[in-house]
Structure 1
Amino acid sequence: MTPQQRTAFITALVLGLAYIALIPQQPWPLSWLLKPLPMLIYAALMWHAFGGATGRWLALGYVAAATGDFFLDYGERDGLFMQALLAFLVNQIALIVAFARPGAGRPMPWLRALPALLYCVLLAAWLVPRSGHLMLPVAVYLGSLLAMAVMACRVEARIGPVWLGAMLFLLADSLIGVNKFATPFPHAVLVIVCCYFTGQSLIAWGLLRVARPARS
């Protein structure tokens, strides 16, 4: 990671932690502006670190994540839920395509992907029937989450931050569905945002670590 990349990455971390620290004070003015900023910084980092198609797909993924963050916060999580779901679906698809490139040529480590596979199968069987008229969108989104997590398993030669970040991202987005459709739980927003931001940050950090060999 270059000094410029490190500075930008730390800036994104500080902004994300500031948003998390202010969650108990919500609603407060301009929270919808603060929340997307870390993902936009990660988008710029991916664009410059990878270049080419991989950089564009990763940048698109993080811009879509920033858009989903905006919709969730500005709509107070439920008001613009479908718009957020669509934005995060674009995020997942972009990451699936991008993850296929650094890991090209490596066999799929199915044992590494097993936790995500088991979790999504059990979650889908429990959550999808409880999603009411959104059963199909929720099922499609869970499928895209699973595909993203599985593709992340092949990015690194061994278990690392990309894998761990993808697992946390999978957990965070699935908990949104659990909290909305099945079992609301205390401090849901704080738990979900902590898992989500940590996951996205780990993915960005891990990708920056593999950016140079992937580019060459």
Structure 2
Amino acid sequence: MPAFERRCFAMAVVLGLLYLVLLPFKPYPLSWLLKPIPMLLFAVLAWRAWPGKIGICLGVGFVAAAAGDFFLDYGARDGLFIQALSAFLINQLAFIAGFALMARGKPWMRWRMLPVTLYSILLAVWLVPAAGAYQIPVAIYLLCLYAMALMACRVEDKTGLLWLGAMLFVIADSLIGVNKFAQPFAYAIPIIVACYFTGQTLIVLGVRRWKHPSAVSAARSRHACPRG
């Protein structure tokens, strides 16, 4: 990983951990700014790893995640919930497109899809009826979340970072719905944020591990060039 990208990744991780550490002190000024920055840095890393359509899709996904983070934090997780849900829906759709392009030519069915399929079915049966007026938006979102997870399962030949990150992302987003609509639970916010941030971090690491061949060639060329 080039020095610029290492710095971006390190800054994203440090800021994400800082947000987690400061959760007990909320509300505090500019927390709504601190939370989205790691996702914006991940957008840069994903775009640089996959030039072209895939990088654009992944970059849009992380930018949309940053917008969702902003709406959840600035809206105190209630006032701007629909805006946050819409932003994360764009996040899921962009990831679906990006992962599908990364998985071109790979099998459509893998055994690792089974756990997330069962989890998604049980979640939908429990959560959608409990969502009240939000039943349709929640159902659509859960379907897209499931589709994102399935596309992530197709990318890697073996279970890896991208798959694990997508699974944690599914857990984090589903716990938001569970806590809001079905069964509020203790320490919900730190658990959700930890799962979400870890999941997104693993996704960007997995994306970079499956780096586009043209990006790999360009990096090797830069490394091979003598410094003047």
Q: Deviations over 1:118-149 (max 9, x none)?
A: 00000100110000010000000000000000
| Unmatched runs of 5 consecutive residues or more in structure 1 | none
Q: Which residue of 2 aligns with 1:23?
A: 23
Separation (CA, whole Å) in 2 of partners of 1:215 and 1:143: 32
- Look at both structures and tell me which one has the larger radius of gyration over its CA atoms: 2
Are residue 178 (structure 1) and residue 175 (structure 2) matched? no
> What is the one-letter code of the residue matched to 1:161?
L
Moved >4 Å (runs of 4+): none
Separation (CA, whole Å) in 2 of partners of 1:135 and 1:214: 44
SS at match of 2:29: coil
Equivalent residues of 2:110, 2:154 under 8 A apart: no
Equivalent residues of 2:51, 2:212 under 8 A apart: no
Separation (CA, whole Å) in 2 of partners of 1:97 and 1:35: 25
Q: TM-score scaled by structure 2?
A: 0.92
Separation (CA, whole Å) in 2 of partners of 1:176 and 1:67: 16
- Taking structure 1 as reference, are residues 18 and 113 closer, same or farther at Cα in structure 2, changes over 3 Å only? same
Are residue 204 (structure 1) and residue 204 (structure 2) matched? yes
1:67-216 aligned at under 5 Å gives the runs 67-213=67-213
- Taking structure 1 as reference, are residues 56 and 25 closer, same or farther at Cα in structure 2, changes over 3 Å only? same
Aligned-pair distance for 1:48? 1.6
Aligned-pair distance for 1:191? 0.4
Separation (CA, whole Å) in 1 of partners of 2:53 and 2:13: 26
SS at match of 1:100: helix
Q: Deviations over 1:80-128 (max 9, x none)?
A: 0000000000000000000011111110243111111000000100110
Equivalent residues of 1:102, 1:214 under 8 A apart: no
Equivalent residues of 1:15, 1:38 under 8 A apart: yes
Separation (CA, whole Å) in 2 of partners of 1:215 and 1:193: 31
| Unmatched runs of 5 consecutive residues or more in structure 2 | 217-228
> What is the one-letter code of the residue matched to 1:149?
A
- Taking structure 1 as reference, are residues 138 and 214 closer, same or farther at Cα in structure 2, changes over 3 Å only? farther
Q: Which residue of 1 aligns with 2:224?
A: none
Aligned-pair distance for 1:215? 5.4
SS at match of 2:212: helix
Give identity over the alignment, percent.
58
Q: Which residue of 2 aligns with 1:53?
A: 53
